[in-house]
Amino acid sequence: MTASAFSLVSRSLGALMLWVLSAAAIAQAYPAKPLRWVIPFAPGGGLDIITRAYAPHLGAALGQPVVPENRPANAGILAIEFVAKAPPDGYTLLTLGPGSLVYNKFIYADVKYDAERDFAPVTLLTNAPMALYINAAVPAQTLGEFIALAKTPGAKLNYGAPGHGHIFHLAMELFKERSGVDIQFVPYKGSAPVIQDLVAGNIHAAFNPVTSQFISLIKAGKIRALAAGGDSRLPDFPDVPTAAEAGVKGYYAVGGFAMFASGGTPRDIILRLNREMVKLSTHPEVVKIHHSQNLLVAVGTPEELLARQRREYDIWVPMIKRLGIKAQ
């Protein structure tokens, strides 16, 4: 090895050691200032409520304030990009659905972040059970009967969802692919008018989460739940089978929220945040707020969140590409 080559290697090793020592020092001193926890949507939604349920308790555990910060713009994309570009020091966190983080770039134009490179998984926070609902006047008591009805010539069934690329839209399109039915999509500007039209019978079906509102509508006999979207039956509807149980093999559509840090955040910081979130997941106030939102606590390891993201990618991205789904 020449002297110049030896000098270059020495400088490279020296720089690497400085980076390692610097990262270790940051992790040991963490946190030394308040944290911001970015919420990509307006206050009042489930994602906002769950973030704010954890934030004060996480701040108390860390010894520094954790400040929720709503950044609702451009379907949340600008907020996500803000976190992607933040320093990888554990002081900027993000709450977002594990699925939407990985498939947004295939639906929205000009997305400037990479889900794998620019974000470090900390933990899944919640699972949001979803179900396929139909108006009570639709002559189907089971999912099998609904599929048979949809395949009847001239049936002309339709469904509603809040916009192209929304998880409820994707959930129904996946159902259509896996079951082989043709049901017309009717886009709406939000979830509230979807529910109103489902109850009124202006649309036949919709995928939506399990909420107290839907439970009340079912008890009132105005709608029916035909299938759960996940791997297990819904606690509120134990007699309703999963779509897979009812014959739609391989079907999986579950919402949820997760915590991410900026990509490159030191592993020690990720694990510190994860440990605190695991402890807080059983806090009585946190559990109570989850129950009030009909959400299931799902805190786990960073690796489990990464596995969930990969599963979401494998389910949604090929379908989005096949159907050419784009935000409109």
Domain ranges for the chain, please list them: 34-128+254-323, 130-228
- Sheet containing strand 205-209, edge to edge, reads 184-187, 158-161, 205-209, 130-135, 223-228
Q: For residue 9, name the pLDDT band (cuts at 50, 70, 90).
A: very low
Crossing angle of helices 302-323 and 98-107, in 10° steps, is 30
Closest listed residue to residue 268, CA positions, set 62, 11, 30, 19: 30
What is the length of the chain? 328
Quick one: average pLDDT of 182-207? 96
- Higher pLDDT residue, 13 or 318? 318
CATH code, residues 130-228: 3.40.190.10
Enter the tokens of residue 254: 């579950």
Query: Amino acid identity, residue 272?
Result: R
User: What is the average pLDDT across 116-145?
Assistant: 97
What pLDDT does 27 receive?
57
**Confidence bin at 80 (pLDDT 50/70/90):** very high
pLDDT confidence of residue 28: 67
For residue 274, pLDDT beyond 80: yes
Task: Please state the pTM of the whole predicted model.
Answer: 0.87
Which residue from 128, 94, 55 is spatially nearest to 308, judged by alpha carbons?
A: 128
Query: Could you check whether 34-128+254-323 and 130-228 share the same CATH topology?
Result: yes
Angle at 70 between CA 52 and CA 213, to 5 degrees: 60
Residue 7 has pLDDT above 80, yes or no: no
Q: What is the pLDDT of residues 59-74, one digit of tens each?
A: 999 999 999 999 998 8
> Has residue 32 got a pLDDT over 80?
yes
Mean pLDDT of 242-252: 95
CATH of 34-128+254-323, one of 3.40.1280.10, 3.40.640.10, 3.40.50.150, 3.40.190.150: 3.40.190.150
pLDDT at 74: 85
Q: What DSSP state is assigned to residue 225?
A: E
